[in-house]
Structure 1
Amino acid sequence: MFRRTFWFTAGAAAGVWATTKVNRKLKQLTPESLAAQAANKAVETGHRLKDFALDVRAGMVQREAELGEALGLEAPVDQGRELPEPRRRAALGPVAHPTTYSFSKMPSSSYNRNEDH
């Protein structure tokens, strides 16, 4: 008698457990639940990408500082100094002004060699 009661109770408990498990899984597979899960994953991925971009930017700034220090490019700027005079072109002869070029002398073909690549 006790064996029958034990197995009946064990079967009922297993049935309740299985039914609960199946109902939970079905609720997870509803369209609303799937949309919410996808939105949560997208937000999480966005946060990870933002963190990655911030880490890359911090690494770039650090590496640029290291390179600038190694190459001696980090010179202190004097606040009281004026800017140096702009360099003048060496006089090598008459230089044509860019506005005096004639575009009519240029070839009129529409061939672009970069289109082949």
Structure 2
Amino acid sequence: MFRRTFWFTAGAAAGVWATTKVNRKLKQLTPESLAARAADKALEAGHRLKDFALDVRDGMAEREAELDDALGLNAPTEPELPAQRRLAIVENHSKKHPKSLENTRNTTYSYNRNEDH
């Protein structure tokens, strides 16, 4: 009698377990459930892509900083004025021709075309 009761109870428990398992699988395969799972997977993939893009951006900024340091582009620059340019005075012309001293007063610059380049 105990054997029959044991096997009856074991069979009933196995039946209940199998029925609940099948019902859960059927609910997972409904169109609404499949759509919800697909949406969740798409959101997860989007978050992974966003994290990847942020990692790439951080890596790019780090590498750019390394290259700037290697090329000396990050050196602090103080705003300095350029050195004052010295103008060449035409002295030879006034020594040779004392009469043309009046003409040389206004021409104190050297007109070398390559000087400014």
TM tier, smaller? 0.5 to 0.7
Query: What residue number does 1:33 align with?
Result: 33
Gaps of at least 5 residues in structure 1 are 83-90, 92-117
Aligned mates of 2:81, 2:57 — CA distance in 1:
32
Equivalent residue runs for 1:66-105 within 5 Å: 66-78=66-78
Query: What residue number does 2:22 align with?
Result: 22
Query: What residue number does 1:49 align with?
Result: 49
Specify which structure has the bigger relative contact order, considering alpha-carbon pairs within 8 angstroms and separated by 6 or more residues. 2
Output the amino acid matched with 1:39. Answer: A
Aligned mates of 2:76, 2:59 — CA distance in 1:
23
Gaps of at least 5 residues in structure 2 are 83-112
Report % sequence identity: 80
RMSD across aligned positions (CA): 1.9
SS at match of 2:70: helix
Aligned mates of 2:36, 2:81 — CA distance in 1:
61
1:79 Cα offset (Å): 5.0
Aligned mates of 1:71, 1:8 — CA distance in 2:
83
1:70 Cα offset (Å): 1.4
TM-score between the two structures when normalised by the length of structure 2: 0.65
